[in-house]
Amino acid sequence: MRRIVIPALLALAALASGIPLLAHHSFAAEFDDQKPIKMTGVITKVEWQNPHIWFYLDVKNPDGTTTNWGFAGGAPGQLMRRGITKDQLKIGETVVVEGFRSKDGSNNASGGRLTFPDGRNVLTAGSQDRVPPQTMPAKP
């Protein structure tokens, strides 16, 4: 029950807070909003650069191999004004990322929402990027 209620409450909180559901200048060109993803992995690299931050996770596949995925967030300035700083993304830490796959089918995606091991949940999307729903099952 708790597994259902908490994501539902978080989704409601996101709606109530007026978080935008529209895409902005790069999202529609780069990512497919019909292909939402949710992945758990270990942070291997962070690029705190414009026009979007990128962070990379080693994600274990069902067959035991590991794939390194890249996730794009908002611009550093947008995130810092929101209280999200580079030092919150720690190399070696396991996190859950929700977003949408890149249009080219490569191992890249938007990373609109990030959940830390302590359950803290931050919106890493650009201010107009598509915000992933929070009720998706984790894959792989």
**Choice between 63 and 104, CB closer to other proteins:** 104
Given 54, 60, 88, 121, the residue binding other proteins (CB under 8 A): 54
Q: If binding is defined by CB under 8 A, does position 104 make contact with other proteins?
A: yes
Report the C-alpha gap between 29 and 19 in whole angstroms.
21
| Binding piece for other proteins, criterion CB under 8 A, among 8-16, 64-72, 87-95, 111-119 | 64-72
Q: If binding is defined by CB under 8 A, does position 16 make contact with other proteins?
A: no
Beta strands in the chain (DSSP E): 31-47, 54-60, 66-72, 94-102, 108-115, 121-123
Polymer length in residues for the chain: 140
Given 40, 88, 121, 127, the residue binding other proteins (CB under 8 A): 127
Phi, psi (5° rounding) for residue 35?
-125, 70
DSSP 34: E
Q: What is the largest CA-CA distance in the chain?
A: 41
Q: If binding is defined by CB under 8 A, does position 94 make contact with other proteins?
A: no
Q: Interface residues with other proteins (CB under 8 A)?
A: 18-20, 22-26, 28-31, 47, 49-52, 54, 56, 68, 70, 72, 75-78, 80-81, 102-104, 106-108, 127-128
